[in-house]
Structure 1
Amino acid sequence: MQFNRLVDDFYAAPFPGEQHRKPDGSISIDRFPNPDQIAFVDDLLAIGRRDMRGFGLSSGIFFPFDGPLKEDALPDAMSTLDEAATVFLVGVDPDSPDFGQRYPVRVNFESDGGPFGAPNLLSLVPIQGLPLRPSTLYAAVVRRELLDADGRQLSVAPELATLLAGGHPEGLSNDALTAYRRAIDSLANLGVDLGSIAALTVFRTQDPFDEMRRMRAEMYRITPPKPAAPFELVGTYDNFCVYQTTLEMPQYQHGTPPYLDGGGGWRFDDAGVPIPAGTQTANFVVTIPRQKMPDAGFPAVVFIRTGQGGERPIADRGVHETKTSPSIPGSGPGREFAQVGFMGLQVDGPHTGLRNITKQDEQFLIFNLLNPEALRDNIRESALELVLFARGFATFEIDVSSCEGVEAPNGIVHIDTSHVGIFGHSTGSLVAQIAQALQPLFRLSILSGAGSSYIENLIYKRKPIPVKPLAEAMLKFGAKGRSLRIYEPLLSIVQWIGESSDPQIYGRHLVDEPLFGRPRHVLMLQGIVDNYNLPPMANTTSLSIGLDLVGDALDETESRLSAFDPLSTWLSIVGSEQLPFPVMGNRDRIGELVTAVVAQHEEDGIEDGHEVVFQREAPKAQYRAFLESWLSTGVPKVIDAEGATP
Structure 2
Amino acid sequence: MSGCFARAPAVDLDERVRHPLRMRASSAAATIAASSLVAALGCGDARPSVASIWVSPAHLVELRGARFFDAPWPSDLRREGGAVRLDGYPNPRRLRLLDEYVGAMDSVLDGFSPAAAGYLRFAGPIDVSSLPETPAFAMSPVGSVQLIDVDPGSPARGERRPISVHFRREAGVYWPENTLAFMPVMGFPLRPRTRYALVVTDALRGEGGGRVEASPELRQALGIDPAGADVEAARAALAPAVDEIEAAGVERERIVHLAVFTTSDPTAELFALRDHLLASAPPPAAQPALFRLVKRAPSWDEYAGVYGPSPSYQIGRAPYATHADGGGFASKAGEPVIAGYFDLRFSITVPAASRCPMPEAGYPVVLYAHGTGGDYRSYVRSHTGLALAERCLAVMGVDQIFHGARPEAPQDAAQAGPLFYNVQNVYAARTNARQSALDEVQRARLFTESRMTVPAGVSSTGEEIRFDPSKILFFGHSQGGLNGPLYLAADDSARGGVLSGASAVMSITLLEKTNPPPSIAALVKSVFLGLMGDEEGEVNEFHPAISLAQSIVDVVDPIHYAARLFVAPRDGFAPKSIYMTEGINPDGSGDSYAPPLGIEMHALAMGLPLQSPAQRLIREYGFGGPAPVEVPPEGLAGNLAGGRASGVLAQWPVAEGSDGHFVVFDVPAAAAQAHGFLQSLADAPRGRVPAP
State the match for 2:38 in structure 1. none
CA contact (8 A) 1:214 1:273 kept: no
Alignment of 1:483-502 (within 5 A): 483=537, 484-502=539-557
1:304 partnered with 2:377: no
State the match for 1:519 in structure 2. 575
CA contact (8 A) 2:451 2:469 kept: no
1:280-313 C-alpha deviation (Å, 9 max, x unpaired): 3422121111121111111111001343514511
Match of 1:434 among 486, 491, 497: 486
1:127-154 C-alpha deviation (Å, 9 max, x unpaired): 2221111111001111122211232120
Alignment length (residue pairs)? 610
Match of 1:44 among 93, 98, 101: 101
CA contact (8 A) 1:452 1:538 kept: yes
Specify whether residues 141 and 256 from structure 1 end up closer, same or farther in structure 2 by C-alpha distance, changes over 3 A only.
same
Larger Rg, first or second structure (1 or 2): 2
State the match for 1:320 in structure 2. none
Aligned AA (2:197): A
1:412 partnered with 2:437: no
Please say which of residues 123-132 and 392-401 is displaced more in the overlay. Answer: 392-401
Aligned AA (1:293): M
State the match for 1:66 in structure 2. 123
Alignment of 1:196-275 (within 5 A): 196-221=254-279, 222-228=281-287, 229-248=289-308, 249-262=310-323, 263-275=325-337
Match of 1:293 among 343, 358, 380: 358
CA contact (8 A) 2:117 2:183 kept: yes
Alignment of 1:621-640 (within 5 A): 621-640=672-691
Alignment of 1:444-523 (within 5 A): 444-465=496-517, 466-474=519-527, 475-478=529-532, 481-483=535-537, 484-516=539-571, 517-523=573-579
- What SS class does the counterpart of residue 163 from structure 1 fall into? helix
1:606-644 C-alpha deviation (Å, 9 max, x unpaired): 210110111121112102221222333443222233xxx
1:29 partnered with 2:94: no
1:578 partnered with 2:578: no
CA contact (8 A) 1:179 1:202 kept: no
Q: TM-score, normalised by structure 1?
A: 0.90
1:486-534 C-alpha deviation (Å, 9 max, x unpaired): 1111111111111110001011110111015111101001111212223
- What SS class does the counterpart of residue 584 from structure 1 fall into? coil
State the match for 1:323 in structure 2. none
Specify whether residues 403 and 628 from structure 1 end up closer, same or farther in structure 2 by C-alpha distance, changes over 3 A only.
farther
Match of 1:372 among 415, 421, 426: 426
1:103 partnered with 2:161: yes
Specify whether residues 578 and 373 from structure 1 end up closer, same or farther in structure 2 by C-alpha distance, changes over 3 A only.
same
- What SS class does the counterpart of residue 600 from structure 1 fall into? strand
CA contact (8 A) 2:168 2:175 kept: no
CA contact (8 A) 1:366 1:378 kept: yes
- What SS class does the counterpart of residue 536 from structure 2 fall into? coil
Specify whether residues 368 and 588 from structure 1 end up closer, same or farther in structure 2 by C-alpha distance, changes over 3 A only.
closer
Aligned AA (1:365): L
CA distance in 2: counterparts of 1:179 and 1:133, whole angstroms: 21
Percent identical residues: 29
- What SS class does the counterpart of residue 515 from structure 2 fall into? coil
Measured after TM superposition, the shift of residue 268 of structure 1 is 3.9
State the match for 1:360 in structure 2. 413
Aligned AA (2:413): Q
CA contact (8 A) 2:302 2:347 kept: yes
State the match for 1:644 in structure 2. none
Aligned AA (2:121): P
CA distance in 2: counterparts of 1:168 and 1:423, whole angstroms: 58
1:383 partnered with 2:437: yes
CA distance in 1: counterparts of 2:460 and 2:345, whole angstroms: 25
Measured after TM superposition, the shift of residue 592 of structure 1 is 4.5
State the match for 1:531 in structure 2. 592
Alignment of 1:179-198 (within 5 A): 179-198=237-256
Measured after TM superposition, the shift of residue 219 of structure 1 is 1.2
CA distance in 2: counterparts of 1:129 and 1:105, whole angstroms: 11
Specify whether residues 312 and 638 from structure 1 end up closer, same or farther in structure 2 by C-alpha distance, changes over 3 A only.
same
Measured after TM superposition, the shift of residue 595 of structure 1 is 0.3
CA contact (8 A) 1:290 1:404 kept: no
1:342 partnered with 2:393: yes
State the match for 1:322 in structure 2. none
Aligned AA (1:542): A
State the match for 2:5 in structure 1. none
- What SS class does the counterpart of residue 453 from structure 2 fall into? strand
CA distance in 1: counterparts of 2:185 and 2:83, whole angstroms: 26
CA distance in 1: counterparts of 2:371 and 2:499, whole angstroms: 13
CA distance in 2: counterparts of 1:217 and 1:404, whole angstroms: 35
Measured after TM superposition, the shift of residue 427 of structure 1 is 1.5
CA distance in 1: counterparts of 2:622 and 2:524, whole angstroms: 34
Match of 1:399 among 444, 447, 454: 454
CA contact (8 A) 2:167 2:179 kept: yes
1:24-57 C-alpha deviation (Å, 9 max, x unpaired): 1111221211122211111211232142111111
Please say which of residues 491-500 and 253-262 is displaced more in the overlay. Answer: 253-262
Aligned AA (1:11): F
Measured after TM superposition, the shift of residue 211 of structure 1 is 1.9
CA distance in 1: counterparts of 2:235 and 2:440, whole angstroms: 43
CA distance in 2: counterparts of 1:494 and 1:522, whole angstroms: 28
CA distance in 2: counterparts of 1:269 and 1:595, whole angstroms: 38
Aligned AA (2:501): G
Measured after TM superposition, the shift of residue 481 of structure 1 is 2.1
State the match for 1:13 in structure 2. 71
CA distance in 1: counterparts of 2:669 and 2:171, whole angstroms: 47
Match of 1:609 among 641, 644, 660: 660
CA contact (8 A) 2:130 2:203 kept: no
CA distance in 2: counterparts of 1:518 and 1:404, whole angstroms: 34
CA contact (8 A) 2:604 2:625 kept: no
CA contact (8 A) 2:603 2:649 kept: yes
Specify whether residues 168 and 234 from structure 1 end up closer, same or farther in structure 2 by C-alpha distance, changes over 3 A only.
farther
Please say which of residues 147-156 and 431-440 is displaced more in the overlay. Answer: 147-156
Measured after TM superposition, the shift of residue 180 of structure 1 is 1.8
CA distance in 1: counterparts of 2:524 and 2:232, whole angstroms: 37
CA contact (8 A) 1:233 1:402 kept: no
CA contact (8 A) 2:499 2:581 kept: yes
Measured after TM superposition, the shift of residue 66 of structure 1 is 1.2
Specify whether residues 115 and 416 from structure 1 end up closer, same or farther in structure 2 by C-alpha distance, changes over 3 A only.
same
State the match for 1:278 in structure 2. 340
CA contact (8 A) 2:495 2:577 kept: yes
CA distance in 2: counterparts of 1:165 and 1:33, whole angstroms: 31
Please say which of residues 136-145 and 44-53 is displaced more in the overlay. Answer: 44-53
- What SS class does the counterpart of residue 334 from structure 2 fall into? coil
1:538-557 C-alpha deviation (Å, 9 max, x unpaired): 11111110001112120x2x
Aligned AA (2:139): L
Specify whether residues 425 and 542 from structure 1 end up closer, same or farther in structure 2 by C-alpha distance, changes over 3 A only.
same
CA distance in 2: counterparts of 1:494 and 1:61, whole angstroms: 13
- What SS class does the counterpart of residue 146 from structure 1 fall into? coil
Match of 2:223 among 151, 165, 170: 165
Give the gaps of 5 or more residues in structure 1.
Answer: 318-330, 557-565, 642-646
Specify whether residues 172 and 45 from structure 1 end up closer, same or farther in structure 2 by C-alpha distance, changes over 3 A only.
farther
- What SS class does the counterpart of residue 523 from structure 1 fall into? strand
- What SS class does the counterpart of residue 373 from structure 1 fall into? helix
Aligned AA (1:455): S
Specify whether residues 468 and 37 from structure 1 end up closer, same or farther in structure 2 by C-alpha distance, changes over 3 A only.
same
CA contact (8 A) 2:365 2:468 kept: yes
Specify whether residues 346 and 255 from structure 1 end up closer, same or farther in structure 2 by C-alpha distance, changes over 3 A only.
same
Match of 1:619 among 670, 677, 689: 670
Q: TM-score, normalised by structure 2?
A: 0.84
